[in-house]
Structure formats: structure tokens, C-alpha cells
Amino acid sequence: MLSSGVHLVSRKVWPIHSLIYSSSRSFMDLKTLLSSLNDFASLSFAESWDNVGLLVEPSPPHTVNTLFLTNDLTEEVMEEALQKKADLILSYHPPIFRPMKRITWKTWKERLVIRALENRVGIYSPHTAYDAAPQGVNSWLAKGLGACTSCPIHPSKAADYPTEGTHRVEFNINHTQDLDKVMSAVKGIADVSVTSFSARTDDEEHTRISLNCTQKALLQVVAFLSQNRQLYQKTEILSLEKPLLLHTGMGRLCTLDESVSLATIIERIKRHLKLSHVRLSLGIGRTLESQVRVVALCAGSGSSVLQGVEADLYLTGEMSHHDVLDAASQGINVILCEHSNTERGFLSDLRDMLGGHLDNKINIILSETDKDPLHVV
């Protein structure tokens, strides 16, 4: 920053071949593209604390010819995206995470928003939705281990309940005259679906009432049933759970088809991530020749996902000092590759997958300046 207040921005001139795209490509309306991106990997997969989806939207209508992929949206990456005529930036990490109270030229994240809006460039972030997706970041990271079977460490739940409502209420009615009165009353409550069937308990015929309802309707159902002591004492209330998704969720627990030495798995990981060095913590009693069969992995920062998981090896980008010590004390080896090094390589696969998913309607390009901020010296 000069004393006059003029801000200097380093600019890089990109080769001509980087700026030329196929004229056969067509445009996609932004809203249509966002819908297709959600079909590819639903934002409902994302963690509740995350900030995903469309973060910056130019005034509509907005069409997209070039989709620009990056792991982190820095000012240098933004400059590259603008020079390459991007219409939408897909930044794996959300550049806007904490709430902004103002948009000024003071901080680099505020400047990203300003430059995006000035140049009519949208910003979209999938983050943990892509972590959890079956074809997402963690599944890509697992490919570097060799032949293995894997499953999510923490499976995601479906976006919707398998039936209407969030609760199920069940009770018995013994007398026909009571049945009509009760059925009429509960059917009069909004957001309640009711079924009934004949049943026998202790050689006594009765009608079993089963109803599904929302949380709000449950209060009214309970209020009605509580007026009849006999009904209320025999009422069962069940809280319905959203079903778990088999191949979707945080982290991956991988079982190799064949055990290999720790030294071998290290080389596989370095080759997959295109790294010359990784950080290694040997578990107590382990050596480079110790066999590895089960690997628990989580792209990025994996401490919370990997904690307590039984495995021969933890693979992630970063963990706290004390979490590494805890793992080592249990005989678990830990490999740390730096946060974004466990994520960035996925973007090449993503470009190909999105190309097919979008029927090659738009240009999809990778950032050439995006890189992990840390390197070994």
C-alpha cells in the first residue's frame, strides 16, 4: 500500500492458448447451471455449519459460458479468473464463511466480492457437500491407496424422511363408538396422516391407530389424547429418523485388498497427490515396515472425523499436535499432507465429471495459480 492510498495488484499475463475456447460451446443460464450442480452433488450433503451454494450472484439474468474451478479463491486466483473470462467461479472452499458487516476495499475477502460483482462473476462453493458425495473429494483421495473397499466414517442422512411427518403416534381403541370420535378429531388436525387396522392383544379385539405428524401437529395430538386417560397411558410416540445414505458421508474407512508396508503406502500417497514430501507420525511400536490394511482418511482437516476410529493409518491434511499424540499412543500411524494438498487434485476429476454431467455445454477450466500456501523449504 503506497502512502497515497493507491493499492498495487500484481498482474500476470496468461498465454493466448489459455484464453481461447471452443466456439461450439453454448451458454447456460445461471439458475439452470446451479440446478445441475445440485443434481451432481446435493448441497444437502454439506455439514450444518458450512456455508455452501451460491455466495455471490450478479444481477439477473446471468449466463455462464466459462466455469472456473479452484480450491481456494485468493486475489491472485481471482485475477486469473477475470483474465480467462470466467462467468462463474466454483471455489471448493467458501471465500465467504464468517458474516461480513461491510463490503469495502479494506480486506482481501471483501475485495474478492467487489471484483466479482464489478465484473459480473458469480461465486459458488460446494465444500463439505463434495466431501460427502459418493464421487467426491474423499473417494478421490481413497484412490491413491490402491485396490480397496471403502465406506463413509460418518454416513450422511437423506434430505427427507421416508414418510410424511417427523413423528409417529400409535395407540389402541377398544370400542367402536370411540373410534369414530377419535378418528374425526385427529383427522381434523393439520399435517396429520392416519391409518387404522384391526389387531388382537391378549385375546382382545381392538383397532390400532397409527398416525404420522409434524412436530407442530404432535403437540395438538398429545393435547387431544391427554383428555382420555386410558388412551394417553397406552400411547407410543416415536421420533422418525432420516435414513442413512450408504455411500455418502464424511471421511472414508478403507480396507485394502492386500496389506502393504507403511513405506509402500507412503509412496502411493505421494504419487497420487504429486508430493515430494509428507509428514509422518509413527504409532507406538510401528516402523516403516509395519503392515497397513485399514486406512481412515479425511481430506482437509480430519481430526474431528477420524477421532476414535480404529485403523492402522490416519490420512488427512492437518491435525492438531495433541490429536497426533493421541493417535500415536494407540499405535496408529498418521500421515499429514497439508490441508489443500488432499483436496486440490480432485478438481481435475471434477472437471471431467462435470463436463459429462453438463453435456459439455460450457467451458470448464482449472486454475493454474491455485496452490497450497505452505511448502517445505
Q: What angle do CA 140, 298, 148 make, to 5 degrees?
A: 50
For residue 103, the tally of other CB atoms under 10 A from its CB is 14
**Is residue 339 marked as binding?**
yes
* Strand boundaries in 202-290, DSSP class E: 204-213, 236-239, 244-250, 252-261, 279-281
Q: Environment class of residue 172 by beta-carbon count within 10 Å: exposed (0-12), middle (13-18) or buried (19+)?
A: middle
Is 93 flagged in the annotation as binding?
A: yes
> Using an 8 Å Cβ cutoff, are 152 and 298 in contact?
no
| 131 known ligand binder | yes
Interatomic CA distance for residues 174 and 205, integer angstroms: 7
Q: How many CB atoms lie within 10 A of CB 25?
A: 14
- Does the annotation list 39 as a binding residue? no
* Dist CA 313 CA 132 (whole Å): 20
- Round to whole Å and give the CA distance between 221 and 187: 10
Binding-site residues for a divalent metal cation, please?
A: 93, 131, 339, 343
Residue ranges of the binding site: 93, 131, 339, 343
